[in-house]
Structure 1
Amino acid sequence: MPLKKHDREYDVVVFGATGYTGKFTAEHIATSLPTDLKWAVAGRSREKLEQVVAQCREWNPDRRLPSIEVCPLTDDDLSALARKTFILITTVGPYSRYGETAFKACAAAGTHYLDVTGEVPWVSRMIARHSSTAAETGAIMISQIGLESAPSDLVTWSLASILRKSLTGTSMRDVVVSLRVKGAPSGGTLSTVLTLFENIPLREALASFKPFALSPVPNPHPASPPAPSLLSRLTGVLRVPILGLQTTSVADRTDGALVERTWGLLQTIPSRKDQAYGPNFSFKQYMRAKSFLSGLAVHLSLMIFGLIIVTPVLRSVVSKYVTPPGEGASFEEAQKDEIEYRGVAKPDVPGSKTRAFCRAWYKGPNYFLTGVLLGEAAATLLEDDVDLAGGIYTPACLGQGFIDRLDKNGFRFESKIIEDVPE
């Protein structure tokens, strides 16, 4: 499919290409996107960028190499960079510390924008500050399009899609997504989590995590899933039909905030209203537990980690011992990574025993999957008619075409209807 015509120097720029996630993104673009792509790698160090270009030559000697753009984190430099490209991908975090300059520059320049933040409070800020500008300039801006939190968003969209096809006109009620992950977080991810409350006040952060806080419209009637037992509330462990034994997920509200924004956007975007989930929608995410004891251990570990995050003294101590930003698992170690999402959705039909089921999985470096998500989102914007005006969107707003691209690149999706499921 031909690339869209535009008047920019580049189709895509990867800002932060010398970092851990940025290199994976550059590798996917070099090996998988069209060979006539006009692209560049950007960052502060020319020497490190030259090393990335040399690696691109090794990854794929038959394609056009990226140009180099040396770009400090200043308003003038990032504004100039944004005006040069049709799409800017940025992997420079923590976004709550470094991200707004690039976001603001793209909104003002009408440049499509992709990032991989998991910082919901920062996303909330960007929506409040820059939505109107993006709408005026035509910039399509999508945050959280990496491991945080695109998979859950796309699984939820897939569940709604198969329900609509199988039960014509049926809305979706409560959705439960189960996560299983094998692999270690990168230094950038750890730094982001540990510094979030240094950059955003706790009260503002907590407000952004409230249900449907990022949705453009309120949800006055969300579904109320059955309340867990006292034992489940204390231990975090419970059993979910179809999904099996589950425990607390570290990404529940991070992913939930994005999914709930999608819920609101699908009601308000003219081209997406036929994809709306329904008025009684709710979302919950867990992590798969191998056993009761392992599930309890995960739950308690997350409680302790949460205490560390909100306690400045503990944060300071832990920060000295974690993997530093820009680093992560070695290539050999990361080859053993796996990630899998399983989702179940209930139709908004009283007494129905029909359920939609979706499984999405990837084997290989988890952060390479983030590179795949970014690269294929860029390809979708470059080649497809996404029928979106300027604004701040979510990964699911790119629709089935985006999911199909991911499936062809190793992030596989399967959906089906299951009948006669007991409550």
Structure 2
Amino acid sequence: MASQREYDIILLGATGYTGKLTAGYLTSSVSEPIKWAIAGRSQSKLSDLAAKLKSSSGSGSAPSTIVVSELTVQEVTKIAKTTKILLNCVGPYHKYSTPVVQACAESGTHYFDVTGETPWVREIIQKFEDTAKRNKAVLIPEIGMESAPSDLVAFSAVKLIREIWDCGVMDMVSAVYELKSSGASGGTLATGLGLFDHYSAKQLKESADPFCLSPLSQRDHRHTKTPEPTTYRKTMGQRLTGVWQYPLLGTLTTSITAGPNQAIVHRSAGKYPYYYGFNFNYAEYMAVNPGPAGYLISLALMFLTIFLAFPPTRAIIKGFMKYKPGEGPTVESTKDNRVEIRAVAVAEQLSKVPRKAFVNFVFEGGMYELTARLMVTGAITLLKDQDKVVKTHGYGFLTPSALGQGYIDRLDKAGVKIKAKQLGDVGSK
């Protein structure tokens, strides 16, 4: 990537729901002297947003505005060549953003997005990985609510186990322990529904494999199919109902966000099997109270998947959407929102007392505000730590955890708390 460019960051799709939150966070909380711009299709909307950002910043300054009339490779390349990092909030990504990724890969421009569209992420990795590496671009999709928290939780557990017991991880079970949310934005809902319109049943099935993004799935026969966990087994009844119990995490059931999160975590592990462990397995669930709730949630998600598979029922579901694309919960309604993730990782080492790591992730606030903080903090981390990140991971499609402990430390200052602690006996090092 060229060292001298006009901007440090360009935020594309700044006038959308998530884009506005991201722009607001960039304005209010980034103390580093950076030069940035907002980009979109409408000059009037961009100007209005810039004026609001200027009035709220207290510094009397506002980001530059850039109009992108069409999301073609040619148009996006013009702006990609002017910035070090492009933050992309234009979704549905599978519908609009493939040219954006291509432009960044060809221009040597670092790229972040906040998608959770695993089939699309799989597609762009296959198409543009070599191009990105050749042009020295770092591309990190899914650095929002999906799937940065899960990836950072897994990284924190593996890091602790490596430091204490000098070994990898066999199994890791993660649970959304608490999720108080004001609901999904119109863009998120449109994206989820649109995947069923855009991709075939075969493509969706392949992308549901937790290892579909892992490099090991292409070169290691052990990962051509989802391996069984090493340290626990589910009964047939638990598999059918989706409800089971796990020590320290309680009663667990199916999580609607598990798919993209598991795929990203396994990509991280697949890129570094000597660090994570060759038998590493990550599974994500939702914690529920004992009783019928878990069974009802699992059953509801099963029927929702069936309904989404058929165009007529999919059309009916679209008619009940609370928000249109570009709309979402108000800031006031999200003030008491909260997410907490708890996870247990089992060390790949035999001992009388099981050696484990327990990780806790907490954020107080709206889920889209969390997404804004995750993406902005990731961009700042890459600007500051680029040499370290590239030396360790190289270029191409990376995962959020590739930004390392520096990212986690900066997130802590941004109100995103990730804590890992040791369970079991003392370390062997």
- TM-score, with length taken from structure 1: 0.93
- Per-residue CA distance 1:91-149 (angstroms, 9 max, x = gap): 11111111101000000000000000100010000010000000000000000100111
1:270 alignment partner in structure 2: none
**TM-superposed deviation, 1:254:** 1.3
Moved more, 309-318 or 57-66: 57-66
Residue 256 in structure 1 maps to residue 253 in structure 2 = no
**TM-superposed deviation, 1:283:** 0.8
- Count of paired positions: 409
Aligned match of 1:119 in 110, 117, 129? 117
1:239 alignment partner in structure 2: 245
The CA RMSD over aligned residues, in Å, is 1.7
Over 3 Å counting, the alpha-carbon distance change for 1:63 and 1:109 in structure 2 is: farther
Aligned-partner Cα distance in 2 for 1:302–1:125: 26
**TM-superposed deviation, 1:225:** 4.7
**TM-superposed deviation, 1:55:** 2.1
2:39 alignment partner in structure 1: 42
**TM-superposed deviation, 1:297:** 2.0
Moved more, 248-257 or 207-216: 207-216
2:416 alignment partner in structure 1: 411
Residue 52 in structure 1 maps to residue 52 in structure 2 = no
1:387 alignment partner in structure 2: 389
**TM-superposed deviation, 1:350:** 3.0
Q: Answer yes or no: is the 8 Å Cα contact 2:243–2:253 preserved in 1.
A: yes
Paired residue secondary structure (2:276):
coil
1:339 alignment partner in structure 2: 339
Moved more, 170-179 or 193-202: 193-202
Gaps of 5+ in 1: 268-272
Paired residue secondary structure (1:350):
coil
**TM-superposed deviation, 1:234:** 3.2
Paired residue secondary structure (2:350):
coil
Aligned-partner Cα distance in 2 for 1:350–1:237: 28
Gaps of 5+ in 2: none
Moved more, 284-293 or 221-230: 221-230
**TM-superposed deviation, 1:5:** 8.8
Aligned-partner Cα distance in 2 for 1:387–1:81: 24
Aligned-partner Cα distance in 2 for 1:254–1:23: 24
Aligned match of 1:102 in 95, 100, 121? 100
Paired residue secondary structure (1:239):
strand
Q: Answer yes or no: is the 8 Å Cα contact 1:91–1:116 preserved in 2.
A: yes
Note the 1:1-400 alignment, pairs <5 A.
6-34=3-31, 36-62=33-59, 64-71=61-68, 72-167=70-165, 169-179=166-176, 180-183=178-181, 184-218=183-217, 220=222, 222=227, 223-267=229-273, 276-322=275-321, 323-351=323-351, 352-384=353-385, 385-388=387-390, 389-400=394-405
**TM-superposed deviation, 1:64:** 3.7
Aligned-partner Cα distance in 2 for 1:88–1:132: 19
- Per-residue CA distance 1:331-379 (angstroms, 9 max, x = gap): 1111121111111000112355121000011011110110001100110
Aligned match of 2:407 in 402, 409, 414? 402
- 2:372 alignment partner AA: G
Aligned-partner Cα distance in 1 for 2:230–2:185: 35
Q: Which runs of 4+ in 1 moved over 4 A?
A: none
Paired residue secondary structure (1:333):
helix
Paired residue secondary structure (2:216):
coil
Aligned-partner Cα distance in 2 for 1:240–1:375: 35
**TM-superposed deviation, 1:233:** 2.5
Aligned-partner Cα distance in 1 for 2:246–2:6: 51
Over 3 Å counting, the alpha-carbon distance change for 1:344 and 1:55 in structure 2 is: same
- 1:245 alignment partner AA: T
Over 3 Å counting, the alpha-carbon distance change for 1:123 and 1:416 in structure 2 is: same
Q: Answer yes or no: is the 8 Å Cα contact 1:36–1:64 preserved in 2.
A: no
- TM-score, with length taken from structure 2: 0.92
Q: Answer yes or no: is the 8 Å Cα contact 1:341–1:361 preserved in 2.
A: yes
- Sequence identity percentage: 38
Aligned-partner Cα distance in 2 for 1:133–1:5: 16
**TM-superposed deviation, 1:330:** 1.2
